[in-house]
Amino acid sequence: MSKSQIVDEAAPFVRGAEKVLAEPKRSGHASRPPGEKSLAASPGTWFVWAGIGAFFIFLFGIISSVLVDSFGKPWFRTWLPENFTLSWYQSAWDKFDMTHIIGVTLIVGFSVVVISVLIGVPASYVLARSNFPLKRLVMVLFLLPILIPPITFGIPLATVMYNFGLGRTLIAVILVNLVPSVPFVIITMTPFIEQINPSIENAARMCGANMRQVFVRVLAPLLVPGILAAGILVLVRTVGMFELTFLVSGPSSDTLVVAIYRAMTSAGGSEARQLVSAMGVVYTVMMLVILVIALRFINPTQLVAQVKESRDE
Amino acid sequence: MSTATRRERGAASSASLRHRMAERGVDRKLLMLLPAILFALVLFVYPFTYGIGLTFQPLQGTVDKWGGGIFANYVAFFGDSFIFDSIWITMRLALPAALFNVIVSVPIAFKLRRKFRGKRFLSTMLVLPITLGTVLTAQGLLIFAGRQGWLNRFLIQSGIISDPLQLVNNYLGVTFTLVISGFPFAYLLISSYLSGIDPSLDAAAKTLGANWKQRFMRVTLPLLAPGLATTFILTFVLAFSVFPSARLVGDPLGTTRVMALMAYRSFAEQIDYSMASTIAVMMGVIELIVIAIVLLGRSFLYKGSTGGKG
């Protein structure tokens, strides 16, 4: 036992791994005193890191292919393009009026965030704090738009929009995107409000605050992290939302994703691949900016559960 | 006992209606719910019922071709194998992809739940594909895994294969995009469920002499299983409604002719709103059936507290 331990500790990482592979019978825990860790990784660990590695190879392959492609001229049978150029961005701006498309995307994104927070947060407060008849029915009503595929309610919704003459307008795009966003805010904010101690509100009421003051002075500061997190997630979802926007938008109200899709599939042969890549890079940069700003304020997992740190570390 | 309750109720009835309603939870606070409910009624319930009504108003052409009066759209849906087959095509894509995402996420979430250097960085990287979106993933995959892409080029030059692999414009390409967009989501959910399980349960099993296999199978997995079912449902929903990637990296006339694509074809290309609504509604029905089956299975699982959530 002591010999193997010495070897384990002295051996470099890879040799340790070979040992485990060579002697799979010996379990990692039995041969060591408790609390000490093997230097060699178990096969399970190798599997996990291999999986993550493969995933990241694909991920970075995809991102950097698009990036290189958008700067390349021409790029066919080589590892890298022969020349690098900015002309694809120039022509993307000339051909598609990117400033307008980005502006539309941001207007849609931020309006959806503001409206869905304004509608959703009061509703989730009621759902978190009080019981009332038909509460389960109301919950189902808010859960359905998230569970049902976007196309399923998107097509009837788009039909209604066209009937009302709202088709291809900015208002229709915003309204359609609100349908999954408001329930999303409600579903994520309800547990967040539940974990705020109700005695804080009761204390405020007892001290003579009215409902409005309780909301503005007591609840709002406590809710800010949750609202920010939910708002950022809604923004990311809305900017990335393809199906619903695609069904109702027209040339003047296309968001960036839809514009990219249309460029990829436009009738009479799609646009040059590099042009689409350039638009894709603009999209990624926009998303990254949102994400970087978001991660400065929030931790994306904080909404899902209160994490209890593992004790055995 | 029963007389006491009756007397209480009798006493309450002398209070004002407002007071009695408030005791049952109906008070002015509920007004805050009103905008959300109105919104859901106007933008979700009304269009949806309108759409369902529309499915019973088939175009004359559909009636002439398939018969069945007001049910002509449904007759066409089940009778036209071009449309009906898309159910299996969608299932064949969505079920394996969702299962794969959930099953692979479990060991990874398990390994990564400990603290280690760069954990936050790794989590951030795993969130990244969520922001990429399906359209961009499709474009990247077309370039990266295409015949001239880096992946095939590397495999050929390192001598592993001699001919480029056909990885895009088929079933495989769509599966890749489903994994790339679905896996991070499944991982985030499962790791948060995992962190909701009290580690002292695992420690207790350890003191009783259970090895890791027993601890996983007997302690952690039963506690995690309901979370796995929920994660499966949510990833399945994402994969089931796949639409842009099926068109862009798939084989939209063959192996990836999914239901969403068929619904869109009726909607935009054939301008047959009633048939489009029929396919869309059937899509929702089929998805809800799968969800109901999973939820039914889930109801047999452990439902109590997992001890870790605050």
What is the ipTM metric for this complex? 0.79
The structure tokens listed for B219 are 């302690």
Tell me whether residue A309 is in a domain. Answer: no
Statement to judge: residues A258 and A269 lie in one domain: yes
Q: Which of A59, A86, A113 is the last residue of a domain?
A: A86
What would the 3-class secondary structure string for chain B be?
A: CHHHHHHHHHHHHCCCHHHHHHHCCCCHHHHHHHHHHHHHHHHHHHHHHHHHHHHCCCCHHHHHHHCCHHHHHHHHHHHCHHHHHHHHHHHHHHHHHHHHHHHHHHHHHHHCCCCCCCHHHHHHHHHHHHHHHHHHHHHHHHHHCCCCCHHHHHHHHCCCCCCCCCCCCCHHHHHHHHHHHHHHHHHHHHHHHHHCECHHHHHHHHHCCCCHHHHHHHHHHHHHHHHHHHHHHHHHHHHHCCCHHHHHCCCCCCCCCCHHHHHHHHHHHCCCHHHHHHHHHHHHHHHHHHHHHHHHHHCCCCCCCCECCC
Cβ-nearest to A126 among B29, B51, B54: B29
Single-letter amino acid code for the residue at B293 = I
Q: Does A112 touch chain B (CB under 8 A)?
A: no
pLDDT above 70 covers a percentage of chain B that reads: 92
The reply to whether residue B176 touches residue A55, judged by beta carbons under 8 angstroms, is: no
Find the Cα–Cα–Cα–Cα dihedral B202, B208, B212, B218, rounded to 10°: -70
Q: Smallest Cα–Cα separation from B176: which of B250, B99, B119?
A: B250
Distance, in Å, from the CA atom of B241 to the CA atom of B90, rounded to the nearest integer, reads 9
Distance, in Å, from the CA atom of B158 to the CA atom of B166, rounded to the nearest integer, reads 18
Residues within 8 A of B (CB atoms), A 37-76 only: 44-45, 47-48, 51-52, 55-56, 58-59, 61-63, 65-66, 69, 76
How many CB atoms are located within 10 Å of the residue A183 CB? 26
Longest dimension (CA), chain A: 81
Q: Which of A58, A86, A114 is the last residue of a domain?
A: A86
Q: What is the pLDDT of residue B161?
A: 80
Statement to judge: residues A130 and A170 lie in one domain: yes
The structure tokens listed for B258 are 């999914």
The single residue listed with the structure tokens 């999209």 is A283
The reply to whether residue B136 touches residue A260, judged by beta carbons under 8 angstroms, is: yes
Does this model's pTM top 0.90? Answer: no
The CATH number of whichever domain residue A233 belongs to comes to: 1.10.3720.10
Statement to judge: residues A211 and A186 lie in one domain: yes
Q: Smallest Cα–Cα separation from A106: which of A286, A243, A308?
A: A286
Q: What is the DSSP secondary structure assignment for residue A241, as one 8-state letter?
A: -
Q: Which residue of B has its CA nearest to A186?
A: B36
Q: What is the pLDDT of residue A268?
A: 54
Tell me whether residue A313 is in a domain. Answer: no
Tell me whether residue A310 is in a domain. Answer: no
Which positions in chain B touch A65 (Cβ < 8 Å)? Answer: 140, 143-144, 149-150
The structure tokens listed for A255 are 């968001």
Q: What is the pLDDT of residue B214?
A: 87
- pLDDT of B39-49, one tens digit each? 999 999 999 99
Cβ-nearest to B140 among A65, A123, A304: A65
Statement to judge: residues A34 and A172 lie in one domain: no
Residues within 8 A of B (CB atoms), A 120-149 only: 120, 122-123, 125-127, 129-133, 138, 141-142, 144-149
Tell me whether residue A281 is in a domain. Answer: yes
pLDDT tens, per residue, chain A with 313 residues: 444 444 444 444 444 444 444 444 444 444 555 555 555 567 777 888 888 888 888 888 888 888 888 887 766 666 777 778 888 888 888 888 889 999 999 999 999 999 999 999 999 999 988 888 888 899 999 988 888 888 888 999 999 999 888 888 999 999 999 999 999 999 888 888 888 888 988 899 899 888 888 888 888 888 888 888 888 889 988 988 888 999 998 888 889 989 888 888 875 555 678 888 888 888 888 888 887 777 776 655 554 444 334 333 3
Q: Which of A63, A86, A109 is the last residue of a domain?
A: A86
Please list the alpha-helical segments (H only) found in chain A. Answer: 2-10, 13-22, 43-71, 87-96, 98-129, 135-147, 150-163, 170-194, 198-206, 211-213, 220-240, 243-248, 256-265, 273-297
Query: In the predicted model, what is the mean pLDDT of residues B176-201?
Result: 86
Domains of chain B (ranges; CATH) run 4-31 (no CATH), 76-298 (1.10.3720.10)
Q: Which residue of A has its CA nearest to B141?
A: A62
Statement to judge: residues A8 and A109 lie in one domain: no
Tell me whether residue A160 is in a domain. Answer: yes
Statement to judge: residues A40 and A148 lie in one domain: no
Q: Which residues contact B157 (CB under 8 A, 6 or more apart)?
A: none
Statement to judge: residues A184 and A279 lie in one domain: yes
Statement to judge: residues A255 and A138 lie in one domain: yes
Q: What is the pLDDT of residue A299?
A: 58
Least confident of A175-189, B116-130, B291-305: B116-130
Tell me whether residue A205 is in a domain. Answer: yes
Q: What is the pLDDT of residue A101?
A: 92
Statement to judge: residues A44 and A99 lie in one domain: no
The CA radius of gyration of chain B, in Å to the nearest whole number, is 26
Q: Please, are residues A287 and B132 in contact by the beta-carbon 8 Å criterion? A: yes
Which positions in chain A touch B252 (Cβ < 8 Å)? Answer: none
Statement to judge: residues A40 and A144 lie in one domain: no
Q: Please, are residues A84 and A73 in contact by the beta-carbon 8 Å criterion? A: yes
Statement to judge: residues A14 and A73 lie in one domain: yes
Single-letter amino acid code for the residue at A109 = G
Tell me whether residue A259 is in a domain. Answer: yes
Statement to judge: residues A21 and A98 lie in one domain: no
Q: Which residues contact B188 (CB under 8 A, 6 or more apart)?
A: A300, A301, A304, B123, B126, B127
Q: Using the CB atoms, write b or e for B151-178: b if 16+ within 10 Å.
A: bbbeeeeeeeeeebeebbbebbbbbbbb
The reply to whether residue B144 touches residue A61, judged by beta carbons under 8 angstroms, is: yes
Residues within 8 A of B (CB atoms), A 205-244 only: 211, 236, 239-240, 242-243
Domain of A63 in residue numbering reads as 2-86
Tell me whether residue A308 is in a domain. Answer: no
List Cα–Cα distances, A214 to A230, A231, B19, in angstroms: 21, 22, 22
Distance, in Å, from the CA atom of A227 to the CA atom of A117, rounded to the nearest integer, reads 7
The reply to whether residue B40 touches residue A145, judged by beta carbons under 8 angstroms, is: yes
The single residue listed with the structure tokens 């407002």 is B18
Q: Does A277 touch chain B (CB under 8 A)?
A: yes
Which positions in chain B touch A154 (Cβ < 8 Å)? Answer: 280
What total of structural domains would you count in chain A?
Answer: 2
Chain B contact probe: residue of A26, A59, A234, A258 with most B CBs at under 10 A: A59
Chain A contact probe: residue of B31, B32, B150 with most A CBs at under 10 A: B32
The reply to whether residue A119 touches residue B36, judged by beta carbons under 8 angstroms, is: yes
Quote the mean pLDDT of chain B.
83
